[in-house]
Amino acid sequence: MIINEYFLYYRRSIDVDSINCELGPFDVFVSAYNSSDRVRTVFEDVRASRKIWLMHPEYKYAPIEYPDNGEYVAPEERNEKSQVEELIQALEGTDFNNICIDITGFMRHVLIFLIAKLKFIGVKKLKVVYSEPKFYRSQEDTQFSTVTSGTVGPVMGMAQGSDSEGDDYLLLGVGYDHELIGEVVNNKDSAKVYPIFSFPSLSPDMYQQSALRASKSGDVALEKIWQVNKRFFPANDPFAIASILSDVVKEVTYKDPKANIYISPLSTKVQALGFSFFWLKESKKYSSSLTIILPQCITYSRETSSGINRLWEYQIEF
């Protein structure tokens, strides 16, 4: 029997009422600051020698609004490399094997690059937490990214050149942001699209909400292929996401060995983590090329959700 490697990674849920008992202690706890309860609650309750807020410039917090319950790193530039480098610099001298990152408030491009960068600098394992919201504030009308530049491009360091003889394929992690889906699809309008929906979703209603929003994604959502190529993966398990992504990539590569495969995680941060993890594990495995692409966000909503439903801990092992 062949065991799927992704099923062997460790993940567990943590009782949200006993975070301070169950989570940590860590040398450093890093979280991206925004105005959601779930981000702040975890940051306050976790046990760690150092707690660092990453202040993403996309949230547009003025210095006067910065939290005073921890250190903070506040990059000025939006690109993932600058943001991650500033964070890594702040972590200098730390034992990277005992840090924990709360990915809940992270910008996707920074999160994806951070995971790759940590692997690059030799981190072997890493604890990551993600808190699920009870609900999104405006249900299917919740606005996440508020302004994008219109540029869609690879996450830095995670592009593989396309083969001029191969067709393009776009494996799209479908979330609530139909504008983002539209942007990515417009950018790769030569691509055959595989929409991958989060199912089971974080809560039962969220699948319906994301499906409703995704239906506004432009011509791609009207095409037969949107139904025919539809796939699912759970919203809260990065390893299961990586595993399913692996299956779809295998399927595409089997059909078209010269395929240029673009993967774009536009749903939960767990999905972004799963995509990043998958790319790091498997990008050199196939004859096809694999590139993670995202639309470039200029601003992002500070508060999109209410409450904490569940808290998850994942152990990433490179």
Partner 1 sequence: MDNPFSLVRASDYTNEQINSLWVELGENIIDTIIEPKLKISKFILGGKGSGKTHLLRYYSYPVVRLRNTELSGLETIKKQGFLAVFLRATGLDAARFETGSGSNLKWTQLFAIYLELRLAEAVLNSLCDIAASSDENFNDEEFIKEIGDGINNKDFFECSNVADVREWAVNEKKKIDEAVNNAAFTDTLDVKIPFSLGSLCLALNHALYKWCPNLKHIPVIYLIDEIENFSVEQQKVVNTLIRYGEGYITFRISGRLYSRKTSKTLGDGEENREGSEYKITQLDYMLRNYKEFNNFAKRFISKRFLATANINEGDIKASFDPSLSMDVVSSNDYFLGVIEKLDFEDIEALVKSKFHNALYKNGKSGVLLKEVDEIVETLTVGFPLILQKLNFLIFCKRINKADSYIGLAHWVKEQASLHMSNSLDSKDYYFVSYSHYSYDLLAQITKESKNSVDFPYAGFDTFVKMSSGNMRSLLIILGRLFAIAKFKGVDFGGPEKLSVEMQTEAAIESAQFLYESDSNFGEASDKAREAVLRLAQLLRTARYALNIPEVSPITVSFSDSDLNETARFVLNNALNYSFVFEISSGRPDRNSQRINRKIQLNPLLSPKWGLPVGRRGDLSLNAETLNSIFDQAHYQEFKLILAKLRDKWNDPFKKSVPEVDQGELF
- Interface residues with partner 1 (CB under 8 A) are 79, 81, 113, 116-117, 120, 147-154, 156-165, 167-168, 178-180, 182-183, 186-192, 216-225, 260, 291, 293, 295-296, 298
Task: Tell me how far, at minimum, the Cβ of 211 lies from partner 1, in Å.
Answer: 14
- Tokens linked to 252: 């595409």
Of residues 46 and 193, the one with the C-beta less far from partner 1: 193
Q: In terms of CB distance, is 104 or 145 closer to partner 1?
A: 145
Nearest distance, CB of residue 8 and partner 1, angstroms: 27
Give the integer Cα–Cα distance in Å for 48 and 34.
20
Q: Tell me the two tokens of residue 158.
A: 């995670």
Minimum CB distance to partner 1 smaller for 72 or for 88: 88
Which residues does 2 contact at the CB level (< 8 Å), separation at least 6? none
Which of 51, 109 has the CB closer to partner 1? 109
Instruction: For residue 293, list its beta bridge partners.
Output: 154
CA–CA separation, 6 vs 3, rounded Å?
A: 9
At residue 35, the 3 state secondary structure works out as coil
CA distance 203 to 270: 15
Tokens 């299961």 map to which residue?
A: 240
Q: Are 155 and 109 in contact (CB under 8 A)?
A: yes
For the bound state, the minimum distance from the C-beta of residue 234 to partner 1, rounded and expressed in Å, comes to 27
DSSP structure string for 87-141: HHHHTTTS-GGGEEEE-TT--HHHHHHHHHHHHHTT--EEEEEEEEEEEETTGGG
Least distance to partner 1, CB of residue 279, Å: 11
Minimum distance from CB of 186 to partner 1 (Å)? 6
CB closer to partner 1, 113 vs 239: 113
Min CB(262)–partner 1 separation in Å: 9
Nearer to partner 1, 265 or 295 (CB): 295
Three-class SS of residue 162? Answer: coil
